[in-house]
Structure formats: C-alpha cells, structure tokens
Amino acid sequence: MLLHRTSAHDARVRREATALAAAGWDVSILELAMTDDGQDVAGGVRRISVLPPRWLASPAPARAFRTAFLGAFVPAIARLRPDVVHAHDAATLLPALLGARLSGSRVVYDSHELASGVQYRSGAWARVVNAIERLGAARADAIITVSDAIADRLRDRYGLASRPCVVRNVCALPRPKGRRTRRLRSAIDVDEATPLVLHQGSAAPGRGCETLVRSLVHLDSTVHLAFLGSTAPGYEVALDGIVDGLGLAARVHRLPGVPLPELLTWTREADVGVTLMQPTCENYRLTIPNKLFEYIAAGVPVVASETSGAAALVRGGGLGWTADPDDPRSVGAALRAAIGARADAALRDRLHKADASLRWESEQERLIALYGQLRRRL
C-alpha cells in the first residue's frame, strides 16, 4: 500500500490493511512519513517510511519535492516486488503505476475522494492530478472508492468498463460499553444535563463550521458546541473571529484529536453529531464523511448537510435531521429538534439497528472478494 502521509491516524488505510492481512495477504504500508519500520499495525502489517532526503523535506520548490516524492516510492516498490500495489488517493497513483511496471505487479487505485472535484486543488496542479487519474484509472486492474455516487462519477468520467467497487468508510473502531465516561464533558467542563453539540474531525473551510458556530445564536444559551480534532492551518483565526464577535467564547470549545481506539467513548457523550459539508465542490456533494459512520457507531443522532451524500442515509434511516449548511437558522432548527429528542428511545433504537448493518466486518467482504479476483489473475 502507498500513502502520501502517515497511516497513524488514517482509519481507512489501517482497517483495509488489517483486513487483507487477516485474509492471508502479506501487507506493507509505504508511507511518506517518519515511522519506525516494523509490524506496528494490528495484524502484523508493516509500516515502512519512504521519506525523501531531509534537504528536500525542508523549504524547497514544490516541483523538486514532488519529484523526490515520486522517486522515493518507486525503488521501494521495486525492492519489495509485491503482487499488488494498492495506491491510496490520486497522489500515489503515478508511482504505483511506475513501480508496478518495474515489478510486474497488479495495481489497485483506492479513491478516497473525487480527486477531480476537490476544492483545494486548482490551476496547474489540478490539471496534473486530473491527468494522472485519467491515465491511472484506465490502467489500474481494479478501482475502489468510498460511495456509490463517486463510483458512478468515476465510471462515467473515464468510460470505465465496470463500476468501481464501493468500500464505504464504515466504522471499525471498538464500540464503547457500559456507562458513559466523562472524558469529553470533563475536558470542556460541562455536566450531563448540558446540551452538547459535537463536530468531530478536522475543522476546515467548506465543512460548515462557520455556519455551525453562527447557529448557536438561534439556540438556547445553555447549548455548548465542541470541535474535536485538528483545525486547518490558519482557519482558527476565522473561527475565533466569529466566536468572539458573537460573544460565544464560553460555549464553543476546540479540542485536539484523540487516539482512534478511544474516539467513540468521547463521541457518545454528545447529544448530536454534526457533518455539514457545503456544496463548494463536487467531491463534497458526493462523499459520505467518515464522521457520519462514527456518530452512528456511538449511538449519536446526526444533523447532516442536505446537499451531501450523507443526507439520503440520514433521512432514509431516520437517524437524525438535515439542514442547509449555509443557513445558520436552518442548522439551528435541526439542532433544536435533535436536542429535543435526547430521550427518544425510538431514535436510539434506529441508530442501534443502523450500526448493526454498517459494520466493517460485512463491508470488508467487498475488499477481500476484489483481492480474491486479483489473486486468481496473478
């Protein structure tokens, strides 16, 4: 497997790697990050650092770093001579193709998002990435992606003979048992009676974070909001400006991410979980965010963007409410309904049943079956 960052916090990469290892594959993750090489992922999966030389990792022309990045993966693939090279995201697709050509390997392209429709790529680099994906999609032996809508878009965009395999980012984390802990509420110093809204995962532009903060003025003053996870570089300035301008500093809290095995014990303390992808790019309109499955796994009702891929799942399963991610009043109304349903046993039962059907133990069978087909073609 190839990854252009660390696998330490990438739940999708880790669960796919361990699933394939359990199915009898010898799995190594080549990652562009500092790591101690060895079997440090559950199931004996090896993590191997392929960082380029230190002088290129320092401030350097982007073109030079990307060239070194490409060069770091290819010889590592050639040394391992794997049967399959699994490229996570478009960023690793070109080195996967080159390395596979040298080692005679099959190539799996795992599209974590619609690479041609993300908002953070523009100009020449967007054109390069799109060209790489067009080239790689035609040459990959198999393609995996995260939602039905993105699978359909990839098939139509590149004229694929078959629809990519959908392996959703359903939650594989351990479900918390017993009484709720007080980790999240203690960290922000609120008691059990305080209504608590949670935004889990990275706070970044296009994810409805500013709308979410503004929605608090339409809710009772007892309602608190917690952001659990990283904040995009520089974005905290925009969020803090809104918080301070609305006088909400005592009710809005930002906390760093927590270790993945512990995450759901924090999540389950919230009264409602929020995912508000805004329609700023095609990827956000088609994707189903990881946090949606994590909220469901923790038994937490959801308020989701009505313009994202999450909306159909939330509405269809009766798992929460949808709202306009650009309208604080709409989000406030949905949050008010969610908080009012804190004691709704039927809602909790629907969440429990949804979690039972959205288990990684079942979802991984699609991945294992795809690799079984590749094994027969080796």
Choice among 168-182, 338-352, 358-372 with the minimum mean pLDDT:
168-182
Q: What is the pLDDT of residue 219?
A: 97
pTM: 0.84
Assign residue 321 a region: left if phi > 0, alpha if psi is -120 to 50, beta otherwise? beta
Write down the CATH number for the domain with range 183-357: 3.40.50.2000
Q: What is the pLDDT of residue 36?
A: 59
* Model confidence pLDDT, tens digit, residues 233-286: 999 999 999 999 999 999 999 999 998 889 999 999 999 999 999 988 787 888
Q: Are strands 2-3 and 272-275 parallel, antiparallel or unpaired?
A: unpaired
Q: How many CB atoms lie within 10 A of CB 337?
A: 15
Whose tokens are 């709704």? That residue is: 344
* Model confidence pLDDT, tens digit, residues 67-101: 666 678 999 999 999 999 999 998 899 999 999 99
Q: What is the pLDDT of residue 286?
A: 84
Q: Do domains 2-170+360-377 and 183-357 have the same CATH topology?
A: yes
Q: What's the rounded mean pLDDT across residues 315-329?
A: 97
State the virtual CA torsion across 86, 93, 76, 141 in degrees, nearest 10.
40
Tell me the C-alpha distance between 145 and 160, whole Å: 14
Q: Are strands 196-200 and 142-145 parallel, antiparallel or unpaired?
A: unpaired
Could you tell me which residues are beta bridge partners of residue 38?
A: 47
Tell me the C-alpha distance between 142 and 368, whole Å: 12
Tell me the C-alpha distance between 75 and 338, whole Å: 53
Q: Provide DSSP, 5-25.
A: S-STT-HHHHHHHHHHHHTT-
The third-level CATH classification (topology) of the domain covering 2-170+360-377 is: Rossmann fold (3.40.50)
Q: What's the rounded mean pLDDT across residues 111-136?
A: 75
Percent of the chain with pLDDT over 90: 72
Is the pLDDT assigned to residue 125 strictly greater than 70?
Answer: no
Tell me what the pLDDT averaged over the chain comes to. 90
Tell me the C-alpha distance between 52 and 29, whole Å: 16
Helix locations, the chain, DSSP H: 11-22, 54-57, 62-80, 93-103, 123-139, 148-158, 183-188, 209-215, 235-245, 263-267, 282-286, 290-297, 310-317, 328-340, 345-357, 360-377
Tell me the C-alpha distance between 118 and 310, whole Å: 17
Domain boundaries, the chain: 2-170+360-377, 183-357
Could you tell me which residues are beta bridge partners of residue 36?
A: none
